[in-house]
Amino acid sequence: MRIRDYVKPGDLSHAYERLVGTKGAVVMGGGIFLRLQNRTVPLMIDLADLGLDGVNITGDRVEIGAMTTLRQIEKHIGLPEALTGAMKQIAGVSVRNMATIGGSVMGRYPFSDVIPVLLSFDTTLHFHSSGDMALLEYLENGLPCCDILTHLTFNMPEKSAYKAYKSIYTDFALVNVSVAKKDGYCVSIGARPGHSKCVRVDDVDEVLGLVDRFEFGTDHRASAEYRKALAQALLEDIWEGGESWK
């Protein structure tokens, strides 16, 4: 990536003004995925000085700043196990020290280990200008105009778990599954290889049959049949591990 100009604003409104006022301007979280792109950016707006990092837990409500790194989340003892566990196998420590949760969500990466977990928690995204949007809606429709994600929120699940199948320890998942219990059960499956989807049911006995309600695809890494069988095995593994989900 080539960058013509760079700013690191100390104020969110100023950052937003520069974003909407400069054609082709881009905001930067950790910047590591942006850097892999082959394009020229007229203005890179670094969000590092806006104080958008940190985790806040008040009662059941969890708020995570968009600039919180994956490693900060991984090491946070108050966050649900599915979320901290999902971080542990994302690339190496140095990547997780830089990659942000905001960049991970905004990129809508189909291989993401982060998105299926947040989806199973029914996460809401909070934007500086556009206000609030359900993560599911953002995944399906994107944003109507450029904006800055400031933080995301969800209510703490009663119980949650995440499993991914990676053929090499630090590789992208061939498929991944997240389950959360909160007013019923939400199962989300990602890397199918399309982006994550989730299905919600009230009855605990229905959960193990949910894989049939997802579509799986074939690419150079795995066939649809293999992905579906893996997803079923991961779900059963989650179901059998630990205390009862009832």
Partner 1 sequence: MEVTLIINGDHFGFSAEPDEVLLDTLRKLGFKSVKRGCDTTSCGMCHIIVDGQLVPSCSYLTVRANRKKIVTVEGVQEKVRAIAEFMTAEGVEQCGYCSPGHMMSLIALFEENPKPTMDEVKHYLAGNMCRCSGFEGQHRAIAAYLEVEQS
Ligand X SMILES: Cc1cc2nc3c(=O)[nH]c(=O)nc-3n(C[C@H](O)[C@H](O)[C@H](O)COP(=O)(O)OP(=O)(O)OC[C@H]3O[C@@H](n4cnc5c(N)ncnc54)[C@H](O)[C@@H]3O)c2cc1C
**What is the β-pairing status of strands 44-46 and 26-28?**
parallel
Least Cβ distance, residue 36 to ligand X (angstroms) = 7
Between CA 80 and CA 14 the distance in angstroms is 34
Of the candidate residues 13, 37, 56, 94, the single one contacting partner 1 (CB under 8 A): 94
**Alpha helices by DSSP H, 75-207:** 81-88, 93-98, 101-106, 115-120, 135-141
Taking the least distance from each CB to ligand X, the nearer of 28 and 82 is: 28
Of the candidate residues 59, 169, 202, 244, the single one contacting partner 1 (CB under 8 A): 169
Least Cβ distance, residue 172 to ligand X (angstroms) = 5
- 4 binding partner 1? (CB under 8 A): yes
Cis check: omega of the bond before 193, within 30 degrees of 0? yes
Tell me, rounded to whole angstroms, the distance of Cα 47 from its chain centroid. 18
| Share in percent of the chain as helix, strand, coil (round to 5) | 30, 25, 45
Of the candidate residues 13, 170, 218, 223, the single one contacting partner 1 (CB under 8 A): 170
Of the candidate residues 104, 123, 124, 196, the single one contacting ligand X (CB under 6 A): 104
Q: What is the DSSP string of 140-158?
A: HH--SS---EEEEEEEPPS
Least Cβ distance, residue 180 to partner 1 (angstroms) = 25
- By CB under 6 A, the residues from 162 to 181 that bind ligand X are 172
Q: Count CB-CB contacts under 10 A for residue 160.
A: 23
The DSSP output letter for 233 is: H
Of the candidate residues 15, 19, 27, 44, the single one contacting partner 1 (CB under 8 A): 44
Taking the least distance from each CB to ligand X, the nearer of 157 and 190 is: 190
Least Cβ distance, residue 66 to partner 1 (angstroms) = 16
Which residues neighbour 203 within 8 Å (Cβ) at sequence distance 6 or greater? none
Phi/psi of residue 114, each to 5°? -85, -45
Instruction: Tell me the Cα Rg of the chain.
Output: 18
Q: Which does 80 bind (CB under 5 to 8 A by kind): ligand X, partner 1, none?
A: none
Phi/psi of residue 130, each to 5°? -80, -10
Of the candidate residues 15, 25, 26, 161, the single one contacting ligand X (CB under 6 A): 26
Of the candidate residues 43, 79, 99, 234, the single one contacting ligand X (CB under 6 A): 99
- 143 binding partner 1? (CB under 8 A): no
Of the candidate residues 85, 103, 116, 193, the single one contacting ligand X (CB under 6 A): 103
The residues of the shown chain that bind partner 1, judged by CB under 8 A, are 1-6, 8, 31-32, 35-36, 44, 46, 48, 71, 88, 91-95, 97-98, 169-170
The residues of the shown chain that bind ligand X, judged by CB under 6 A, are 26-34, 47, 66, 70, 90-91, 95, 99-100, 102-104, 106-107, 111-114, 148-149, 172
